Amino acid sequence: MANIDASLKELMGIDGSMGCSIVDYTSGMSLGTAGSGVDLELAAAGNSEVVKAKMATMKSLGIKGGIDDILITLETQLHVIRPTAKHEGLFIYVVLDKAKANLALARRKVKSIEDSLEV
């Protein structure tokens, strides 16, 4: 079991990790951030809207189940958003350098960190 600070440290250990946060998407506020590369507080608020919109769309379409993760691919970065299964209303957000990251390994590591997160 890992607290927020330990989880952020693990997220920053992912190859290519530039920044990360654990976010309460109901409020758009970060519970903790690490790293740089983007304004993580602004990204937390904006990506909260992305998560809420996707959840509303799934509900409208009658799609059951949760979101494993949302991937946003930019020219030089990958943004991974992973809503937590154990902690309703939270998601893990990681910004990766596209040239240095291995997406498959990063997704597995984010899931592992989610599984051990204690808030």
The pLDDT tens digits along the chain (119 residues) read 579 999 999 999 999 999 999 999 999 999 999 998 789 999 999 999 999 999 999 999 999 999 999 999 999 999 999 999 999 999 999 999 999 999 999 999 999 999 999 88
Q: For 23-39, give the DSSP string.
A: EETTTTEEEEEEE-SS-
| pTM of the predicted protein model | 0.94
Segments of the chain assigned E as strands? 17-24, 29-35, 70-73, 77-83, 90-97
The domains located in the chain, with CATH, are 4-111 (3.30.450.30)
